[in-house]
Structure 1
Amino acid sequence: MTNTLSFGRAFRLTLLSLGALIFLAPYIFMISTAGKGQSEIFTSSLSLIPTQFFYLENFAKAFGRVSMGQLLWNGVIVCGLIFVIQVIIAIPCAYAMAKLKFGAARLLMALVMLGLLVPIHATSLPLYVAFDSAALLNSYTALVAPFSISVFAIFLFLQFFRAMPDDLIHAARLDGMSELGIVMRVIVPNAWPAITAFAIFSVVAHWNDLYWPLIVVSNQAYATPPLGLLFFRAAEAGDDYGALMAATLIITLPLVAAFLLAQKRFVEGITMTGLKG
């Protein structure tokens, strides 16, 4: 019996390690290529460890050929604004649908589910025409406004709030709190696991988004990190894959660090909202 359990555990660990290696392989190759020179990158032999380390040279090129600091700052501003606005709108909406009784609750739930099916690509043309007519292209407004309402956030918080005990809200009402006060002083303090989980989804999605910034931004001053890589290649670095991988590594490191810091809260939020894989 013990041997069977040991074998099963070893098999699961091997399977999980293999899966992790497959998912990490692109990142491993990116780190490896960031430290290689041009001649070594284009050789027929495959080696993960560079024969000569060009990390300093490639990272210097990455910072020198584009304004890497501006790209990262733009990414922080855009992702931060989108996330904050999404949470400010989604939490009251989800609270109303989860805890308040009104006739249109089921209709609103159906609209939320339908909203999950509509991708940004379906609305990109009318949005572009609207921003162009309003002279808002090449601005933070054009990058942030289309994502200010997140139906996924509403759905995620709705599932979380439904699991919260009604007695907690009834007690707050007996103490004389308004519905807005309940949201601010009762709901939000207890919703941090769900907020953290959604933060990971939101930041990763919009930090890595290339489609919409490519449409509305042509000025490097407003370029987000993925769009900045295109400008990086246009800056006579299209064939300098060592420097390009170094730039990509710089852009992806903040996401990796943020996920590792919020990993515990992320798992709690996903578990408590019932969105288990």
Structure 2
Amino acid sequence: MTSNGFPPARIARLALLGFGALVFLSPYIFMISTAGKTQSDIFTSSLTLIPQRWYFFENFAKAWSRVSMPTLLFNGVVVCLLILVIQVIVAVPCAYAMAKLKFRAARAMMVLVMLGLLVPIHATALPLYVGFDRVGALNSYVALVAPFTISVFGIFLFLQFFRSMPDDLIHAARLDGMSEVGIIARVIVPNAWPAITAFSIFSVVAHWNDLYWPLIVVSNQAYATPPLGLLYFRAAEAGDDYGALMAATLIITFPLVAAFLLAQKRFVEGITMTGLKG
């Protein structure tokens, strides 16, 4: 043990974790640095994180004005919120049925959920695009939301969490005369907030950052999501104004960072508790 009371093994772990955190944060640090630089500072031969001339206000003003940033953020919030709400409404009853109800198709449903985890959106993009085109639903919130309303990952996550809940709690609710819908609404959901919060972080981050599907179904900038808006911004700026581009990226990523920092405690609880078996 060292003189300050910290064992060498703990110091080594902290140093390793600190190095890993620095590696993961380095792109964000680079974005912040670039967002405060002028073009001459960005393309200078010397690499420095601290701008020689502070240019944050000008770059953020460009980012906010040259694309419709409020529209991009609004679309991102609407799309992610609609997807999340519908996913939870669908996934919670499905996971509850598979975890706590006894029926013949339970094993088959579990197999289908596991198979669903293996099917990426890229495999179904073409038939989905053709279907939305046939019904005239391209360039709409329906096209952005509908393919993601059923989340097999959410069903699997909630299934693991519900299995750790005591069966006596469910039996007591049934003895009190609650229906299965009442049990889900008044017993399961209030006790499942850690898992719901953890899933919300996964869902919002995935769909807020998604560029592939919006790039396929959206050509009208009025329905552009944040990553697609960044693509429009870069095209409008011919890829030259990297300071303003990094400022726009910071504006778009800030809501995710803030949401995670606010919900990190429940996120860790949800991830931890879904690994428990009842």
Q: Where in structure 1 do 4 or more consecutive aligned residues deviate above 2 Å?
A: 1-5
| Change in 2 beyond 3 A, CA 1:100/1:91 | same
| Cα deviation, residue 233, structure 1 | 1.3
SS class of match (1:48)? coil
Shift of 1:234: 1.9
Whether the 8 Å CA contact 1:159–1:274 is kept in 2: the answer is: yes
Q: Aligned partners of 1:37, 1:251: CA distance in 2, in Å?
A: 21
* Within-5 A mapping of 1:1-277: 6-274=7-275
How far residue 60 of structure 1 moved from its aligned partner, in angstroms, is 0.4
How far is the alpha carbon of 1:236 from its aligned partner?
Answer: 2.7
Q: Is the 8 A contact 1:237 1:244 kept in 2?
A: no
Amino acid at match of 1:182: I
- TM-score, normalised with respect to structure 2: 0.97
Shift of 1:9: 1.0
Number of equivalent positions: 275
State whether residues 85 and 148 of structure 1, in contact with CA within 8 Å, keep that contact through their aligned partners in structure 2.
yes
Separation in 1 of the partners of 2:102 and 2:2?
A: 54
The 2-side partners of 1:242 and 1:5 are apart by: 43
Structure 1 CA distance for aligned equivalents of residues 177 and 8 of structure 2: 60
Distance in 1 of aligned mates of 2:2 and 2:25: 32
Q: Secondary structure at the match of 1:262?
A: helix
Unaligned runs of 5+ in 2: none
What secondary structure is seen at the aligned counterpart in 1 of 2:244? helix
Kindly provide the CA deviation profile for residues 186-222 of structure 1, in whole angstroms up to 9, marking residues without a partner as x: 0000000000000000000000000000000001100
Separation in 1, partners of 2:202, 2:125? 21
SS in 1 for 2:28: helix
Specify the code of the residue in structure 1 equivalent to 2:13: R
Per-residue CA distance 1:127-154 (angstroms, 9 max, x = gap): 0000000100000000000000000000
CA distance in 1, matches of 2:66, 2:165: 51
**By how many angstroms is 1:2 displaced?**
6.3
Q: CA deviation at 1:235?
A: 1.8
TM-score, scaled relative to structure 1:
0.97
Alpha-carbon distance in 2 for matches of 1:247, 1:264: 28
Taking the aligned partners of 1:79 and 1:44, their CA distance within structure 2 comes to: 41
Structure 1 CA distance for aligned equivalents of residues 237 and 90 of structure 2: 43
Q: Which moved more, 1:221-230 or 1:1-10?
A: 1-10
Cα distance between partner residues in 1 of 2:40 and 2:238 = 15
What SS does the aligned partner of 1:258 have?
helix
